[in-house]
Structure 1
Amino acid sequence: MNLKELGMEIIPRHVAIIMDGNGRWAKLREKPRVFGHRKGVERAKEASEFALEVGIEVLSLYAFSTENWARPKEEVEFLMALLEDYLDKELPTMVEKGIRFHPIGRIHELPESTQKKVLETARATEKNDKLILNLALNYGGRAELVDTIRSLAQKVLEGSLQPQEVQEKLVEEYLYTQGQPPPDLLIRTSGEYRISNFLLWQMAYTEFYFTPTLWPDFDRAEFLKALLDYQKRERRFGGVGD
């Protein structure tokens, strides 16, 4: 299986990935969970590079959900430190390769040092235009919709917006992914069959690809396999197929 098999004319514009299975991968190797998270970061970097190579415009990675605060304190602290280290090391590469880092989620609730690093990286890459890398941090699809509703309600309260003016297009202007195409393809690793509160509004017509492969094993060949599967599908968007 190689890139020559890929139809470059039907590459999805936006791919979203639920990166699942780090803990199970580590457990299978009788290692601590943090070992799996480190390997998972390597795969996230590889996925970004592959997306850039094949011409994907937007890559959304689900890194830390609003529910993940329930994990052991030591694991959460490790994940935040790992994120900061990743951004430190990858910033030069992002700048060089034209990757725009775009955090989505309630960033203001992250630890102060993590917030600072996340926002610094976003500012340093905001003019890059080869690939938008959405990293979902303290993200929840329902939380995103609540934040959107609050913003619109405030506009109505101020008198600058009438309730009847609220249409789908306007709602999309207040989402974390404002101005981006919706995901064409969602990939979920580790054999789970659910979307786990990820991009709920945006995935109305997204194609789903589920694989038993654990995230630390999800390499370029696995990503290519997902894209080839996507290219065999007929997208109808509510219409009727041939």
Structure 2
Amino acid sequence: MLDNSAESGQIALSQTISLIETLTMLDEITQALQQTLDDRRLSRGERRSLSSVIEEANLTDQQRGVVRSTAFDLARKEMTNELEPVPILDWLEDVLRLLQAQTLNSKPGATADACFSPGNACRGKIRSLFRQARKSVDVCVFTITDNSISDEILAAHRRGVTIRIVSDNDKSADRGSDIPLLERLGVPVRMDLTSHHMHHKFAIFDDQILLTGSYNWTISASENNEENLIVTDDPSLVNPFRIEFHKLWQRFAPGR
């Protein structure tokens, strides 16, 4: 019979081996992703091969999140000096579909929540998600005039969370708009400068949680308007919004 110290040692060894196996598996998937990205397309054979690798890995939810983030990081890196990002975004969509297929086969259901205004429910949900963010928040909204939300954006930025904002120039110069202030304080902002409007109202937190709905990030939306928000971690919804944000971020880059 093993004494406590020997048993603890075996448990620690088992955990170490498991960690090494996980890191090796994720590294193999990363290499496979990079190889399929090299020619800017996911061929039928590459799709089958990558699908097989992902299925055999039997990824946990957390590991799927790591692979999704890795795919976005690879795509973002390739798009830095790419004049035509569309093939890369097409590759990214294909990869996310493969991950989504495994998610549907292994996950019984995603979580979702709904909020309504007038009242503090929508505003409170937005602020709470910014406080909980650990890595990144991508914001795509027509305008921001609610200082309590802007304060949370700035607080997240100052604690090291990567914040990116896509907005519309139509309201950015209005009195009360917080977008120019956030940009001056170091938050990356890109504007739709066309005669049309970037009228989305959504945000993606840590690449895993989507917030979207009719709710404008304004005081009047909280105090007066009939508005709604939904929050979900369902990858079948989160991923298309992530791709849409990347498309807009590229489209509204300076000089394009």
TM-score of the superposition, structure 2-length normalised? 0.27
Question: Which protein has the larger Cα radius of gyration, Structure 1 or Structure 2?
Answer: 2
TM-score of the superposition, structure 1-length normalised? 0.28
